[in-house]
Amino acid sequence: MTQVFKITPQNTEKIITDAADLVLQGGVIAFPTETFYGLGADATNEEALRKIFEIKGRDFNNPISVIIGERNDVYSLISGSNSVAEKLMDIFWPGALTIVFRAAEKISSLLTAETGKIGIRLSSHEIARRVAQELRRPLTATSANISGQPECVTADNVLVQVGDKIDAVIDAGKTAGKNASTIIDTTCVPPIILREGAISKKTIEEKIY
């Protein structure tokens, strides 16, 4: 039975702790972000990562991005940064920008899809960021839906699509929806926008060039 953790001002801390505990035990949760609801698993746990692919019916050739709790958490997950990536983090984090870096050797190929690259985001949604902080590990950030189906903007949407396959959903109301996070690959010169989403290509170009 999927647990529903409904956020109130009085119980936020407990819910964040309980959700992080579930993830640490290998569970999968759904949580709100600044765009859509995401599926959260411990990104260092191979078995939990495989659950994400099973839940979504996702091809293993598709990489999975992660959410971190603090900006400095990025450096243990990557093999190097550069001036463009640093500037993007300065300007757009926390926010709806997933930055692609060269992955550290320890990163699972389930996250990178054998590309040697990993997408990382510091979310501007308080709940998403604080769960990652409590977890003290990267949290998967793929959308909480069946692959090919609409992304979810409410906990009820999540329950309809994947409610029988996950351990819990954090219900913090409706998310902004509309656009997913923008994804930019900073491992190449010039950087390439792989997906234009909540932050426009024009906005990024104006800031970094």
Put the strands of the sheet holding 142-143 in their side by side order: 3-6, 168-171, 29-32, 37-40, 142-143
pLDDT tens, N- to C-terminus, the chain (209 residues) = 899 999 999 999 999 999 999 999 999 999 999 999 999 999 999 999 999 999 999 988 999 999 999 999 999 999 999 999 999 999 999 999 999 999 999 999 999 999 999 999 999 999 999 999 999 999 999 999 999 999 999 999 999 999 999 999 999 999 999 899 999 999 999 999 999 999 999 999 998 87
CB atoms within 10 A of CB 33: 25
Name the 3-class secondary structure at 59: coil
- Kindly report the backbone phi and psi dihedral angles of residue 113, in degrees, each rounded to the nearest multiple of 5, phi listed first: 55, 40
Provide the whole-model pTM: 0.96
Written as one letter, the residue type at 25 is Q
Burial of 208 (0-12, 13-18, 19+ CB in 10 A): middle
Instruction: Let me know the angle formed at the C-alpha of 65 by 61 and 69, rounded to the nearest 5 degrees.
Output: 160
| CATH number corresponding to 3-208 | 3.90.870.10
